[in-house]
Amino acid sequence: MRSKLGLSALTLVAALVVTALVAPAASAHGKGKGTHHTTLVRIEAEQLQSEFLDLGTRGPSLGDELVFSQLLFIHNREVGTGGSVCTITEATAPYDVLTYHCVGTLSLRKGQITVQGLIEVQGEDDPGPFTLAITGGTGAYTDAGGVVTFRNRGNLDGVYKLRFATQKQHHRH
């Protein structure tokens, strides 16, 4: 069963995952043996595939999942793909408010970025903002951390803002 509330939540989850694709560099401040770089970036996502899996009681219920993939863009240029799974962790009738635990990965040329957190969706057309944590990454994003904020534009499209931080190690020669 596909639900509009489920698809709206899907859009916000896409935002969480999408916003993690940044190249570090905006500001730097010393921190231990490395330099901490923070960047704020705007990313747009376009859905590739999505499915709301109604796994329990008919309609939104604990354990139901939103699974989706998307193309990621910065300045109309494709920069990678993302995939996420969001599981309903709280659903109380009449289901105007649902809580999802979302986990997502962005796959970029220089590595992957992971995001996760709880999001509360209030009604089918909740525009957000929704905030999740950037929990790490691989390759160029190994020390990634930060916050993803998403606002829903509707139709499973959205604008994401990412505050992304990495730590670059200074090597002694």
User: Which CATH number belongs to the domain containing residue 158 in this structure?
Assistant: 2.40.480.10
Per-residue confidence (pLDDT) for residue 133, from 0 to 100: 94
Q: Where does 75-126 show beta strands of DSSP type E?
A: 77-91, 97-108, 111-122
Low-confidence ranges of the chain (pLDDT < 50): 1-32, 170-171, 173
Give me the number of domains the chain comprises: 1
Residue 80's φ and ψ, nearest 5 degrees, are 165, -170
Which 3 state secondary structure label does DSSP give 92? coil
Q: Which amino acid is at 142?
A: T
User: What range defines the domain where residue 85 resides?
Assistant: 4-169
- 150: part of which helix (H) or strand (E)? strand 145-154
pLDDT for the residue 66:
92
The predicted structure's pLDDT at residue 15? 41
Q: State the pTM of this model.
A: 0.76
| 3-class DSSP state of 2 | coil
3-state secondary structure at position 73: strand
